[in-house]
């Protein structure tokens, strides 16, 4: 028999990342500050944003990831390709972002996955809203969803039905509202099967309890490193991590826990746009 090899499927946050989809900052990203609805902190230095993104992509490539570039321009937030779509072992699920200016993005990513030969498993429909940043795999058969200002109950229920199996939903706090939105992946990043980076002040209590039940240890992000996306960490493989520069306490704690940590500059694409490395790379294939 001729062996078959998977070309898609990413039901893990820590298994070896083989293929990821990114979108380089373009003209729309450069004008993001002009509209307060986008939530950027200051006018964007587009040249710097592109240089930072290029450094991020080069780092992924050095670590063995095949990086695919998404074409098209539907707004500045498309740089954060994790949010509009989820790739399961059975196909892609087009999500429905709660941020109004992002609702054209799922169709663009779905067109890419279709061209790549990835079937569409389903789509989240109105009135449901859900963003990828409110989802993560704690185990290959265990999906966690956060109900937030961008992910409502209808969206969470639709996604749970499409994924099937063990899906847990946790409520996230209002905190400071849309100006500093709390996604589920704003407060936790699994980095190995038994280790996660967490920001304890905003972590749902039920999720903290679940981590304990599963024997998952935690590295706590200090208050000073939460605004510099210190809690958003991308595992390229178990214990081999990518994170934004400027988070020395979290980095040191991860290294003390036995992890290898690589960093990239993230002033424009991270702090200004409020997105970390997980946000900027939609996993297409992880080896599990």
And the tokens for 119? Answer: 């079937």
Q: Evaluate whether 280 touches 80 at the Cβ level (below 8 Å).
A: yes
Q: Is 3 domain-assigned?
A: no
- What is the rounded distance in angstroms from the CA atom of residue 20 to the CA atom of residue 67? 5
At residue 23's C-alpha, the angle toward residues 21 and 27, to 5°, is 170
Q: Is 12 domain-assigned?
A: no
- What is the rounded distance in angstroms from the CA atom of residue 208 to the CA atom of residue 262? 27
Total domains, the chain: 1
Which pLDDT value is given to residue 38?
Answer: 86
DSSP H or E run through 283: strand 282-286
pTM over 0.85: yes
- What is the rounded distance in angstroms from the CA atom of residue 285 to the CA atom of residue 288? 9
Task: Kindly report the number of other CB atoms within 10 A of residue 172's CB atom.
Answer: 22
Range of the domain at 76: 17-286
Q: Is 2 domain-assigned?
A: no
Whether pLDDT at 94 is above 90: yes
Residue 217 belongs to domain with CATH number: 3.75.10.10
pLDDT in tens, 198-220: 999 999 999 999 999 999 999 99
Q: Is 49 domain-assigned?
A: yes
Q: Is 8 domain-assigned?
A: no
Q: Is 226 domain-assigned?
A: yes
179 falls in which pLDDT band (50, 70, 90)? Answer: confident
Whether pLDDT at 4 is above 60: no
Whether pLDDT at 78 is above 50: yes
Q: Is 219 domain-assigned?
A: yes
For residues 60-81, give the mean pLDDT. 94
Q: Is 10 domain-assigned?
A: no
For the chain, what is the mean pLDDT?
A: 96
3 falls in which pLDDT band (50, 70, 90)? Answer: very low
pLDDT in tens, 9-40: 999 999 999 999 999 999 999 999 998 888 89
Tell me the β-bridge partners of 142. 139, 166
2 falls in which pLDDT band (50, 70, 90)? Answer: very low
Q: Which residue matches tokens 């199996």?
A: 165
Whether pLDDT at 1 is above 50: no
Q: Evaluate whether 130 touches 95 at the Cβ level (below 8 Å).
A: yes
């Amino acid at each position: 028999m001729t062996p078959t090899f998977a070309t898609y499927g990413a039901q893990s946050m820590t298994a070896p990342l083989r293929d990821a989809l990114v979108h380089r900052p373009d003209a729309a990203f450069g004008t993001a500050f002009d509209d307060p609805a986008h939530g950027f902190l200051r006018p964007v230095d587009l040249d710097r944003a592109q240089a930072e993104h290029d450094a991020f992509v080069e780092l992924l490539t050095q670590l063995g990831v095949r990086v695919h570039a998404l074409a098209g321009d539907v707004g500045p937030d498309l740089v954060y390709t994790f949010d509009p779509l989820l790739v399961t072992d059975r196909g892609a699920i087009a999500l429905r972002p709660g941020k109004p200016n992002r609702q054209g993005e799922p169709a663009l990513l779905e067109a890419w996955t279709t061209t790549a030969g990835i079937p569409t498993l389903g789509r989240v429909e109105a009135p449901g809203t859900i963003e990828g940043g409110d989802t993560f795999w704690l185990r290959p058969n265990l999906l966690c969803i956060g109900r937030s200002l961008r992910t409502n109950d209808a969206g969470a229920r639709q996604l749970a039905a499409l994924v099937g199996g063990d899906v847990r939903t946790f409520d996230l706090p209002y905190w400071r509202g849309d100006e500093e939105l709390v996604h589920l992946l704003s407060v936790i990043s699994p980095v190995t099967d038994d280790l996660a980076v967490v920001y304890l002040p905003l972590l749902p209590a039920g999720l903290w309890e679940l981590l304990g039940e599963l024997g998952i240890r935690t590295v706590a992000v200090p208050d000073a490193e939460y605004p510099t996306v210190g809690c958003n960490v991308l595992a390229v493989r178990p214990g081999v991590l990518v994170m934004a520069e400027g988070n020395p306490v979290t980095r040191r704690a991860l290294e003390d826990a036995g992890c290898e940590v690589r960093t990239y500059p993230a002033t424009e694409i991270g702090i200004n746009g409020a997105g970390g490395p997980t946000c900027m790379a939609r996993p297409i294939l992880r080896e599990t």
